[in-house]
Amino acid sequence: MNAIENYYKNSLLDDLCADYRGRWQRCHDKESLLKLSLSRQAIPHVVTYAYQGRGLTKDFVLDEYGEYINGYAVHDADGVEGYTTGLYVDYDPNEDLLADKDTVSIMWTVGASVVVPETKATTIYVSNKSKVHLVCDGYNSVSIYLFDKSEVTIEDVDEESSITIYRYSKDAKVGIGKFCLSQKIRVFDKQLKL
Read off the pLDDT of residues 63-109 as tens digits, 9 standing for 90 and up.
989 999 999 998 887 778 889 999 999 999 999 999 999 999 999 99
pLDDT tens-place string over residues 122-131: 999 999 999 9
pLDDT tens-place string over residues 150-163: 999 998 888 889 99
pLDDT tens-place string over residues 5-29: 655 555 544 556 667 666 677 777 8
166 lies in a domain? Answer: yes
87 lies in a domain? Answer: yes
96 lies in a domain? Answer: yes
Residue 56 has pLDDT above 70, yes or no: yes
Number of domains comprising the chain: 1
22 lies in a domain? Answer: yes
Structural domain containing residue 9: 3-189
**Nearby residues of 193 by Cβ (< 8 Å), 6 or more positions away:** none
37 lies in a domain? Answer: yes
pLDDT reported for residue 67: 94
107 with 130: CB under 8 angstroms?
yes
Helix (H) or strand (E) run with residue 78 in it: none
194 lies in a domain? Answer: no
Percent of the chain clearing pLDDT 90 (strictly above): 57
151 with 171: CB under 8 angstroms?
no
Q: Can you give the pTM of this predicted structure?
A: 0.90
The per-residue pLDDT of the chain, averaged, comes to: 87
Pairwise pLDDT comparison (161 vs 178), residue with the higher score: 161
19 by Cβ neighbours in 10 Å (0-12 / 13-18 / 19+) ranks as exposed
